[in-house]
Structure 1
């Protein structure tokens, strides 16, 4: 469908009905391509008066947001703002580590941001993806592989007192919101683990343990990413790669405090969850041992009637062979010894 749409635009352009090049550079090039569920999107925003507007082209003081951008969108932003393509593509690598880099008039900051999986309500995991923030003389650019809650908060104007032309302030507000989001998801993980533990009290199954394992993996991802983000924040505070005003320095301190709190919470929840999993794994193993112990004892008790029947089934002379009540006598004798054995084993807590 996307190819047919392009062909239609080319034909209209050839007939003079539309200007193809204007369409190519049209922003919000929210050309949304549903390729394997991925969204390609470029948006340009600018604070004007008390609000924020969407622009058709990049201007000074504008914020450019890229989500899984296409090569065309990357080239457009790179050429317009003189940003090396590698800086934009760095945030699209899921394995890229958090870091800060100054390249001439361009400052590139990569942080890890939390993202919930699609089935998180069913015990799915949270994971982290890189979020790139590129600050130039006149603009700020955000790049991510997936849509994330941090950027959406700004797009939906839920964050008060933010302006696209106040680049440093905006940048620190993104970092602050990112740290807050970690704390929010950590609380969600704690609540989810509590619900799973409640179900474990009622029914000890592997399903609940697997869900706890998924949550523990989430905490590992969070701990690793938060520590990487902490290194970036400390470097920003130490080297001042971005011009800051006194109120900006205070906001940076708040970001560092929130990030440290998230690290501590992740470590605490991880230790609790690990201990809980070990405890429930031991309980399940103990229950299995109890069942095996009971079955073994029952097998031993039932072996007496089996052995008795085997002896009297031999083709040799045996007692009571001419007795009309032989079956009843043999049955009573075997059951008597079985009961005696069962009582003895029960007293020794072998059942």
Structure 2
């Protein structure tokens, strides 16, 4: 899908055709939909398709007629009835008289501009628009990272409760994988931002340079957050594993104690069940011999239970 917008008088208006200073928003478009845009602004169609490839890496492409800035942005999807986070490429093309954004899905980062949630936004100020998109993507990373940490805190609060831990371990693994993807994408985006600061090919005004510096600061902060949260999740995973192992050890200790107690009557009953002369067995010739043996066995079991209790085996 291809949508065209233009700001006029502080308001964002939808257009039917390309105009000077417009914003061309390309979302999950087909080759047939992208060809008019590529032809209008003399853009290599492969550079436009690159933003739709999930395996593409962040980079800058400088051409005579346009500049392509490709970065990864956070996205969410539903897997196994749970919300998980990932990253997808976002292409920003500064063409002659237009800014073109290309993404494989409708992202909230761009929808903030459509809903006029970004101050001082103008489609005619192309460089500033690109930096504003980058700044919004960095703040979105930080918001998602806080959400990831909140989910970790919820899992950590359940540690030690008598609940199934397998689902929590799987979720911790998913969160750790998310942080690895985020950290990798943020570091790649940081390299792109550094190159933007060095390049003179893109016209910049002093306020644009300040905005790009803010983007760089937010990027570094997001990287630090991802690194710290990943280390904390590693500690949480280790703690949960230790708790599960300790719970298993306690269960095995309890079962061993029960087995030891039950072994006493088993051995005695086994001895008295042997095919020998009853006169040679203690209390074998007495009328109350069976009751006496059962009573002594019970007392012996109680004695063993007392010893295990004193040694904190139960």
- Whether the TM-score (by the shorter chain) exceeds 0.5 is yes
2:229 is matched with: 269
RMSD between aligned residues: 1.7
Relative distance call for 1:203 and 1:58 in structure 2 (3 A) is farther
Task: Report the TM-score when normalising by structure 2.
Answer: 0.94
* 2:3/2:25 contact within 8 Å kept: yes
The alignment status of 1:224 with 2:184, answered yes or no, reads yes
* 8 A Cα contact 2:7 2:122, kept in partner: yes
- Aligned runs of 1:123-202 on 2, under 5 Å? 124-202=83-161
Q: What is the distance in 1 between the residues matched to 2:256 and 2:228?
A: 42
Measured after TM superposition, the shift of residue 350 of structure 1 is 3.0
Structure 1: unaligned runs, 5 residues or longer: 1-40
Deviation string 1:9-59 (CA, Å, 9 cap, x unpaired) is xxxxxxxxxxxxxxxxxxxxxxxxxxxxxxxx2111111233121111122
More displaced stretch, 85-94 vs 312-321: 312-321
Gaps of at least 5 residues in structure 2 are none
User: What SS does structure 1 have at the residue aligned with 2:277?
Assistant: coil
Quote how far apart the aligned CAs of 1:346 are. 2.8
Q: Is the 8 A contact 2:159 2:243 kept in 1?
A: no
Q: CA deviation at 1:321?
A: 3.4
Normalization by structure 1: what TM-score? 0.84
Aligned residues: 310
Residue 123 of structure 1 and its aligned partner are, at CA, apart by 5.3
Q: Distance in 1 between matches of 2:12 and 2:204?
A: 23
Aligned to 1:340: 303
Cα distance between partner residues in 1 of 2:250 and 2:200: 63
The equivalent residue for 1:17 is none
**Once structures 1 and 2 are overlaid, which stretch shifts more, 289-298 or 329-338?**
329-338
The structure 2 residue matched to 1:54, chosen from 6, 14, 21, is: 14
SS for the counterpart of 2:223 is helix
